Structures are given as C-alpha cells and as structure tokens.
Amino acid sequence: MTDTIDLLRQSGIQPTPQRIAVAEFILGSKTHPSADEVFVMVRQTCPTVSRATVYNTLNLLVEKGLIRQQVLREGTIIFDSHVAAHHHFVDEETGEIHDVPWDAVQVSGAEKLIGFEVHEFQVVMRGRLRAK
C-alpha cells in the first residue's frame, strides 16, 4: 500500500485512491486480465471508480513501464505485471494465459535475421494444460 504509493511517485505518477487501487490490483495479479476484468475487480474495493479512469490508469502504467500490454487474446488487449522478458502459453480450451520462464525455452537465430532488426521476441505456445 505505502510501497505502491512510493512506486507510483517514483514513476512520476500522482497517487490517487483510484490509481492506487488499480495499481495494487494489476501489480499483484498473476492472471493476465483485460482492462474490463481489471475494472470489475477494482470496483470491489473502490466501487465508484469509472471505466475511463481504469483504462487511463492502465495505459499510464504501461507508459511508465510498470506493466506491459500483450496481444495474445482475440478481441482484447491484456495487461501483464511481469515486465521482464518471458514467454506465454495459451490454453486453447479455457483461453487462460500462463507465463513460461525465459530460460525454459531456447531460441536462436532471431537476432541475426537479415532484413529485420529485432528489438524483442517471445515464443507464443498454444495447447492444453496438462492434468497433473
């Protein structure tokens, strides 16, 4: 809570109750929620917050580098509190998105493609979550 406020201040974001609520939720989230999913959840702790403020705050957090956007789900952008490089696995049945650690997969050749100056890359996997 105070650490969230400090984090926002350090990133040049004026902490308001709404922004703190959004930041607390998304930074603590391990799923990869859409803006509307964040809106629904944040409403539970901050019932008067508007949709516009949630969207604006998420975009602001992306701009300041505290979270990332990912294009992985059809129809909507998702937000990822995990900013370090990693890969993703999409469950084809449920649509759930799971993080795959950077070192769990090895990729070679991406940097030396002719014609392309690659700034970043990730492996996107699709399949089924294995019953454990």
Partner DNA sequence: TATAATTTAAGACTAAGTCTAAAATCAGGC
Partner DNA sequence: GCCTGATTTTAGACTTAGTCTTAAATTATA
Residues contributing to the site for its own copies (CB under 8 A): 69, 71-75, 77, 89, 92, 98, 100, 104-110, 113-130, 132
Site string for DNA, 78-117 (x = CB under 7 A): ----------------------------------------
Quote the CA–CA distance of 113 and 117 in Å, as a whole number. 8
52 binds DNA, rule: CB under 7 A: yes
Please provide the DSSP assignment of 84-97 as one string: S--EEEEETTT--E
DSSP annotation of 73 reads E
49 binds DNA, rule: CB under 7 A: yes
Structure token digits, residue 130: 């294995």
Structure token digits, residue 34: 């859409």
Which residue, 3 or 130, is less far from its own copies as judged by CB? 130
